[in-house]
Structure 1
């Protein structure tokens, strides 16, 4: 399995428009972060988790030429606003693109992108999707692979992380119940959000993330959904445990 970090930033990305914060002014490419997303490939499968407003740019940079499905974590714009840009994949592959999400998220997308879901009088240039509801405690088959949703809380909003084989991806988490933690047993690679040093009402702080990683005990862990307030990439990385890494845009890992 290969995981390509398409974006590792928070909702505004880094640099933030108009900001004079030192991290936003950094010349280190690892301090420049698009909105959070990953591209996962295994066997002949090609799946993206979330497609935010930087989706088109991310697909061009990564040279992704085949997309079999999108898994959505939740409906916030930094995770969904790029849905229209699936058009090249739909046109090239000549079929609806499967999307997987909680029913609430599917209904939200239908309101915001109604022309994509239109059945009658469709605009011929609109992309098209095939929807699949994801339910907690119900794995689903993708090809021959079982994918397990991991339910977490984002300040009162339900969010799905996903486990695919020995890889777990969780973003926008503030808390998780014990029964969901059980689904992470024996995971080799864990990706989890770490917004900043200071506590936050809806996201893990750096210490929250490190405590969670210590609890799960993966072989490796990567931090994502990072804001400029966490600090410079290289300085933060030096303070992390040896098996914990700050993810950065265009990082590729193999599992």
Structure 2
């Protein structure tokens, strides 16, 4: 299995001219973070998790030429706003793109992209199929996927486990029942927005504590805000098996 970090940042963490923080002024490529998303390649199947506002750029930069399906963690715009650009894959692959998410997420997409679902479609509009999922295992092209429900303040969000890798973003709390699904992981990807307390995201210390409880062989921090600090400095503070992810990082497992 191959996992590519297409983006490891947040809308909060986009470098802008008006911001003079150390991260936004950094010339280190590891501090240039697009919105969080990953591509998982398993047995010839390419699964994308989330289509944020940077989706088109991420596909071009990483030379992604094929997608089999998109999995959605939740309905916030920094994870869904790039869906319209799926049309390039429609044209190339000559197929509707399957989208997987909880019913509330798919209903949100149906509302925000109503023109994709109109009875009479405008020529060339993106074409997708909606596949509702529950908090139970399912398969795409014989790839088994286990949803992991976490809470983003009061909003339920799905992480996903494939083989011995799990990807979780926008989590603040994870129930004991869902933590049971994270046993014996080779790789855990978990969000940590910043060092200061936040109402809906894990802090760096909270993420490290969570990793210490789950005990994966390796862990990677994603969904990083610019208030976290630079990659170089934050990495020095982390345990030996914990790493700050960066855009373009590739893991094999």
Q: 1:158 to 1:16 in 2, by over 3 A?
A: farther
CA RMSD of aligned residues (A): 0.9
Aligned length: 253
SS in 1 for 2:124: coil
Contact 1:12 1:35 (8 Å CA) reproduced: no
Contact 1:14 1:31 (8 Å CA) reproduced: no
Q: 1:17 to 1:117 in 2, by over 3 A?
A: farther
CA distance in structure 2 between the partners assigned to 1:121 and 1:244 by the alignment: 50
- Once the two structures are superposed, the pairs formed by residues 200-215 of structure 1 within 5 Å of their partners are 200-215=198-213
Give TM-score, length-normalised by structure 2: 0.98
SS in 1 for 2:21: coil
Structure 2 segments unaligned to the other structure (5+ residues):
none
**Partner in structure 2 of residue 133 of structure 1:** 132
**TM-fit CA distance, 1:232:** 0.8
User: Which string of whole-angstrom CA distances, capped at 9 and with x for unpartnered residues, describes residues 111-133 of structure 1?
Assistant: 10011122x21112101111111
CA distance in structure 2 between the partners assigned to 1:208 and 1:7 by the alignment: 21
**Partner in structure 1 of residue 31 of structure 2:** 31
**TM-fit CA distance, 1:227:** 0.6
CA distance in structure 1 between the partners assigned to 2:162 and 2:16 by the alignment: 32
CA distance in structure 1 between the partners assigned to 2:138 and 2:109 by the alignment: 21
CA distance in structure 2 between the partners assigned to 1:17 and 1:218 by the alignment: 38
**TM-fit CA distance, 1:16:** 3.8
Contact 2:42 2:143 (8 Å CA) reproduced: no
SS in 2 for 1:209: helix
**TM-fit CA distance, 1:17:** 5.4
Structure 1 segments unaligned to the other structure (5+ residues):
none
- Which consecutive aligned stretches of 4+ in structure 1 deviate over 4 angstroms post-superposition? none
**TM-fit CA distance, 1:18:** 2.1
**Partner in structure 2 of residue 189 of structure 1:** 187
CA distance in structure 1 between the partners assigned to 2:185 and 2:16 by the alignment: 34
CA distance in structure 1 between the partners assigned to 2:226 and 2:177 by the alignment: 33
